[in-house]
Structure 1
Amino acid sequence: MPRLRALQPQSAGGSPAGDASPIDPQQLREGAEELLVRKLRSRSLSLSEARLVLRGYERESSRLDPAVIDEVIDDFCRRGYLDDAILAGQLVTSGVERKGQGRVALSRALAQRGIPRDVIDAALDELPDDDADRALEYARTKARSMARLDGDTALRRLMGQLARRGYNGSVAMTAAKAALSEVTSGRPTSGVRFVESD
């Protein structure tokens, strides 16, 4: 990563109050790069997000020229600090494994991060076509807590949860019905059991 230098606050005895000399462009660029590095240490950024960080950077009323922003972005890409394809892959993996998201929700999450459509499509193409399996797995984790609800209410709520995770209507319906069926099968239809006496 670029060499980090602490930004020094302007001392009271620094430049005279009326000094209107512009900041050195190289200092401005270095300050912007340091800010971007700090952001990247806490969270991966898409190219679009990194560009927004650089556009918003201001020092002594000076901002980076668009051409300089492009140079910084290109430099960070060459060094491997910014890569939309890698970020998209990480977000897809995280969305599937930790959040149980389907393709629609994953696509929406990546688009919100400013990742281009072709990169999103490529990342989603790497997923096995098992939305139905993932939806059923998620539905099974939620179905038990809905066992006390009437059938229609449980189905409606479970389908809503699946839809919010990006599963389309038919996938959500099939998974919800299967999971609720598994929960209700094997348990008696009433709370009373009859035992034969000798």
Structure 2
Amino acid sequence: MNEERIQESKITAIEQQKKNRSRYNIYINGEYSFAVHEDILVKYRLIKGREMDPEEMKEVLEAEERNKAMQYGLRYLSFRPRTITEVRDYLTKKGFTKEDIEQVIDSFIEKKYLDDQIYAKQWVEERKRLKPRGRYLMKAELTQRGVGDDEANLAIEHLSSQEEKEMIERWMEKKISGKKFDSLYELKRKLVPFLQRKGFPLDTIQEVVNSVGPDYLKSED
């Protein structure tokens, strides 16, 4: 759109899109010019017959781009909780400017859509229930998702030694149920490296494994 056309900008028609009913096509001087979300349509009172100067047009287009970034962000959050870093990286890949991305993130934080501390706590609870992990691996997973050290440490500091023992026992039952070993040494050689890869502390692993009774050992008969 050249400068002369912008200076003579007049909305001559507004058309709701058929495939996305929340978006509207705006026609300037009889020709399609751009599309906006209904939030922008209402906020800037875009109605047929309205004349717009270059500054108003620029403001509307910038607001539309920020709104688009927000809609992408909301859709991304709708599938599952995300960290601030995950949302930032996602919107960056979509090509939005740093300024628009940070405004969206600030808005999401203010509205409590994003909270890394809550995310970290929920992550730990979910891991405890569904995919048992030790504190070391849990922290590594949180760090990979962009959670800061303070938030990650706070989330795992309430993970007790007893809870880790119970998770180790669940893994042991799954790993060696129905199997028999010639000795406790053989059982340890099978279990200890496996449990370490799950992020559990070695001293806790050894304490649990050493408590294994004769049920997992072959009879001497």
State the TM-score, normalizing by the size of structure 2: 0.67
**1:113-139, Cα deviation, whole Å (9 max, x unpaired):** 110000001111222332334323432
- Distance of aligned partners of 1:182 and 1:151 in 2 relative to their CA distance in 1, 3 Å threshold: closer
Q: Is the 8 A contact 1:146 1:154 kept in 2?
A: no
| Aligned residue in 2 for 1:139 | 172
Aligned-pair Cα RMSD in Å: 3.1
| Aligned residue in 2 for 1:98 | 130
Pick the structure with greater CA Rg. Answer: 2
**1:78-101, Cα deviation, whole Å (9 max, x unpaired):** 111111111101100011121221
Task: Give the letter aligned to residue 173 of structure 2.
Answer: R
Which of the pair has the greater relative contact order for Cα pairs under 8 Å at 6+ separation?
1
The size of the alignment, in residue pairs, is 174
Aligned mates of 2:179, 2:187 — CA distance in 1? 6
Aligned mates of 1:30, 1:150 — CA distance in 2? 65
TM-superposed CA distance for 1:6, in Å, is 5.0
| Aligned residue in 1 for 2:88 | 51
| Aligned residue in 1 for 2:198 | 165
Q: Is the 8 A contact 1:136 1:178 kept in 2?
A: no
Q: Identity across aligned pairs (percent)? A: 23
Q: 2:76 aligned to 23, 33, 39, which one?
A: 39
Could you list the runs of 5+ residues in structure 1 that have no partner in the other structure?
Answer: 16-20, 191-198
Aligned mates of 2:206, 2:21 — CA distance in 1? 56
Aligned mates of 2:176, 2:183 — CA distance in 1? 12
Aligned mates of 1:50, 1:87 — CA distance in 2? 13
State the TM-score, normalizing by the size of structure 1: 0.73
Q: By percentage of residues, which structure has more strand? A: 2
Q: 2:140 aligned to 96, 101, 108, which one?
A: 108
Could you list the runs of 5+ residues in structure 2 that have no partner in the other structure?
Answer: 1-19, 26-30, 34-56
Aligned mates of 2:161, 2:183 — CA distance in 1? 32
